[in-house]
Amino acid sequence: MTTIYIIRHGETDWNAAGRLQGRVDIPLNNRGIGQAKECRDYLTQFDWDVVISSPLKRARQTAEIINEALQLPLVLMEEFQEKFFGDAEGMTSEERKVIFPNRSYTNQENSTDFHNRLLAGLTRINEKFAGKRVVLVAHGAVIHELFDLLSEEALELHTPLLNACMNHIQYEQDKWVIKDFNIISHLSEFAK
């Protein structure tokens, strides 16, 4: 059975400021680097076969830090880039509420295209790495959308995904099954 641990990238300055990043290629900040290191240290307890990442800098940096210890093939997959939020990218939550009160951002990626892109990525992983254990570093909207698409019942998934959280899915009996969501126990700032 194929197992995927989906990790949200570490924090960036735009995350800290509440700015919508989308496809804007923002690097990790110092806190994000520390979060990626804590993911790395936690993941060394288990056996993995491959690390996959969105090509955007914040995800790729997180994956590279994790892979310092794992020393596995690192594959960049365009399918797991963050959603393109169009004209809302770079805006704070307050700015978006004023300009786009209904959250219909002009020039953003079409929802159907976003769904299809993510499902194609999962299919590609399951075909290329069937039966393997995969670390996948992606983005908040990507993870939320994947879990919305995979859930068979209404799940309480609309809580904010914290930076460097871990999420776990497995391919069982010809379908993806959600095992864990928004796990943060490996992060020292929440271990108290």
| Catalytic-labelled residue, pool 9, 139, 144, 186 | 9
Task: Identify the three-state secondary structure at position 107.
Answer: coil
Are residues 59 and 9 in contact, defined by beta-carbon separation less than 8 angstroms? yes
Which residues have a Cβ under 8 Å from the Cβ of 190 and sit 6 or more positions away? Answer: 162, 184
d(C-alpha 99, C-alpha 30), whole Å: 31
| Catalytic-labelled residue, pool 79, 82, 89, 109 | 82
d(C-alpha 83, C-alpha 113), whole Å: 10
Concerning whether 9 is annotated as a catalytic residue, the answer is yes
Length of the chain: 192
Concerning whether 115 is annotated as a catalytic residue, the answer is no
> What are the structure tokens assigned to 156, written together?
């309480």
74: phi then psi, degrees, rounded to nearest 5: -115, 115
Are residues 47 and 67 in contact, defined by beta-carbon separation less than 8 angstroms? no
Query: So which residues are the catalytic ones?
Result: 9, 82
